[in-house]
Amino acid sequence: MHNRNLAPMTVEEVLDWLEEGRVSPAEAFALFRTIGERVEIANSQPKETQEKLKDVLAELDGLIGLTEVKQLVREIQAFVQIQKRRTEERLVTEPLVLHTIFRGNPGTGKTTVARILGRMFRHMGVLPRGHLVEVERADLVGEYIGHTAQKTREQIRKALGGILFIDEAYSLARGGEKDFGKEAIDTLVKAMEDHKQEFILILAGYTEEMNFFLQSNPGLRSRFPIHIDFPDYNAQELLAIAELMLEKRQYRLSEGARRRLALLIQRGLRNDSYTFGNARTVRNWIELAIRRQAVRLVQKPGEVTREDLMYIEAEDFGEGL
Amino acid sequence: MKACMIIGKANVGKTLFAVNFAGYLGVSRLDIDFTTPNGETYRRTLTQKEAVEELTSPNPHHTLGLQRLEIQMPGLKGKKRFALLDTSGLTDGIPEESMVRRAMAQTLAQVREAAVILHLIDASSVGKEGAVEAVGPVDWQVAQFGGMRTGYAILANKMDLPEAAAGLVQIRREFPGHVILPISALLKTGFAEVKQFVWRHL
């Protein structure tokens, strides 16, 4: 057995060691894997080079609200970890099927959590790349016979090694039997068999629509063992999200601005909680307020202080917005 | 050119599979480029029958070095050209003969570049303790390596033998999460599925 501390660092060194009889072929393959992982990490974006699993989980914990989602993600993480350990010990393992349904209104954090899952699975060695390919009906469904399968397969190919995230997935079932959406579903189901363990499929959409979609496609339902519900944020959580977004951009809310924003959120929730858009709407408000603050400061007579540059005032949210 | 590589332990039937699979894909005269462990190359043209007779043997390590065969694979839409690479058998431990070690290093040097890896396992001797072809540590490592990439499949070979059915069950249990295709290189069964898999990953 070779000295672990002096393990070969490159493919060429591994091959030399193999030829010299210092490692067995089995050990050489194991070394290939560790070198491969090292190369892969080195090739990925620099900001992720130092990232570890605990950083990813810390980011998950940093999300506002989503208590049940976080708990479920932790459960999945523990399950995967234990199954991997059991494989190492050659114990019987549950098949690692991680295809997931995300149910919830727009702006409730589905895409954000999907991205975190991708990175989490990459760090756990479940997915080699862990990237997220985000698509919707138009990216999958074609215009003539055969076109859909081709388009869908292309997206699956792009997602290999990572996550294929289909937003508003229920729309694949609209249009009934003759619609090409069905062809997309069939292609997806086939890919889930052919590329087992090579990618994870996440279907996302409104709760009601997704429930109906799964009921009308029982074959599909059985292939998604994990269901995650994304509840709407309450007013308090939305305000916290807004403040976090501003903090990341190095802005702050004045007392008046905070009251105005809280009012706007309450009004939004009261008027139409279904299409309110949750965090996404809040983000749009914030971005609008930042632009308005800029206009206000440019027009301001006299000197603009550091304080001025940081604070968002009530008037930046406009009257009715 | 993309390569489809056949790897596995000694005596699991890699060469017989390579020759018969080439035949299945419509190649009757095989132009085979040999690379010896010392790096010398030469080409030979053989018929199917000659190839089976000369290149395969019931003794381990009959194939030393790489045997490369260019193939045009016909499919529903057009053809795909690829190189079928037959390789020297892998061992669990460190082999004594330097030639065998060098031949295995040749295999590993190619494996990272291959678009498709077909990992042959002898389904008839999965549990045969002490047999060179029985499933062992090198198979585990190859599977773990294969699991990190696309285009990796396990071919459970020798399904024509009576012990193989039980062996296949055991292979499925011991290599969960991998594509496992039962074949008989001798009787050329299961080749349609292999072709489909190779086509998809080229």
User: What does the domain layout of chain B look like in residue ranges?
Assistant: 3-201
A87:B147 CB<8 A? no
Q: What is the fold of A235-317? A: Helicase, Ruva Protein; domain 3 (1.10.8)
HEC assignment per residue over A116-136 = HHHHHHHHCCCCCCCCEEEEC
Who among B92, B101, B178 is closest to A18 (CB)?
B101
Report chain B (202 residues): mean pLDDT per 10 consecutive residues: 93 93 90 88 90 86 87 80 92 89 90 92 84 84 87 95 92 89 95 92 88
Between positions 200 and 229 of A, the ones with CB within 8 A of B are none
CA A1 to each of CA A34, A238, B94, B96: distance values in angstroms, whole numbers, following the listed order? 17, 57, 10, 15
Long-range CB pairs of A244-251, under 8 A, 24+ apart, other chains included: A244/A64, A245/A282, A245/A283, A245/A286, A246/A286, A246/A312, A249/A290, A250/A310, A251/A290, A251/A293, A251/A310, A251/A311, A251/A312
Helix (H, G, I), strand (E, B) or coil at A46: helix
Residues of A in contact with B114 (CB under 8 A): none
Model pLDDT, residue A51: 60
- For CATH 3.40.50.300, the residue range(s) in chain A are 53-230
Nearest Cα residue to A155 out of A107, A106, A201: A201
B137:A96 CB<8 A? no
Interface-testing mutation among A24, A99, A124, with chain B (most B C-beta atoms within 10 A) = A24
Q: Compare B128 and A234 and report the one with higher pLDDT.
A: A234
For chain A, the average pLDDT equals 83
Model pLDDT, residue A50: 43
Residues A198 and A126: their CA atoms lie apart, in Å, by 9
A33:B91 CB<8 A? no
Residues of A in contact with B104 (CB under 8 A): 18, 25, 28
Amino acid at B125: S
Within chain A, how many helices (H) and strands (E) appear?
Answer: 14, 7
Asked if B169 has any chain A CB less than 8 Å from its own CB, the reply is: no
Model pLDDT, residue A45: 38
Q: Compare A75 and A318 and report the one with higher pLDDT.
A: A75
CATH of domain B3-201: 3.40.50.300
Residues of A in contact with B92 (CB under 8 A): 24-26
Residues of B in contact with A197 (CB under 8 A): 147, 177-178
**How confident is residue A3, by pLDDT bands cut at 50, 70 and 90?**
very low
The pTM score is 0.50
**How confident is residue A319, by pLDDT bands cut at 50, 70 and 90?**
low
Which among A1-5, A195-199, B127-131 has the top mean pLDDT? A195-199
Contact (Cβ atoms closer than 8 angstroms) between residue B75 and residue B82: no
Residues B135 and B131: their CA atoms lie apart, in Å, by 9
* pLDDT per residue as tens digits for the range A142-154: 888 888 988 999 8
Residues forming beta bridges with residue A11, ordered by sequence position: none
CA B39 to each of CA A229, B33, B36: distance values in angstroms, whole numbers, following the listed order? 60, 12, 5
A128:B178 CB<8 A? no
Model pLDDT, residue A49: 38
**How confident is residue A177, by pLDDT bands cut at 50, 70 and 90?**
low
* pLDDT per residue as tens digits for the range A50-93: 467 888 888 888 888 888 888 888 888 888 888 888 887 888 87
Residues of A in contact with B141 (CB under 8 A): 25-27, 29-30, 33
Residues B101 and B98: their CA atoms lie apart, in Å, by 5
- For CATH 1.10.8.60, the residue range(s) in chain A are 235-317
Report residue A187 as tokens.
């292609």
Asked if B25 has any chain A CB less than 8 Å from its own CB, the reply is: no
Min Cα–Cα distance to chain B from A30, Å: 6
Other Cβ atoms closer than 10 A to B178: 18
Residues B32 and B55: their CA atoms lie apart, in Å, by 11
* pLDDT per residue as tens digits for the range A88-128: 788 887 778 889 999 998 888 898 899 999 988 888 878 88
Nearest CA in chain A to B9: A25
Model pLDDT, residue A48: 45
**Exposed, middle or buried, B131 (CB in 10 Å: 0-12/13-18/19+)?**
middle
B176:A29 CB<8 A? no
Model pLDDT, residue A202: 95
Model pLDDT, residue A277: 61
CATH of domain A53-230: 3.40.50.300
**How confident is residue A47, by pLDDT bands cut at 50, 70 and 90?**
very low
A27:B140 CB<8 A? no
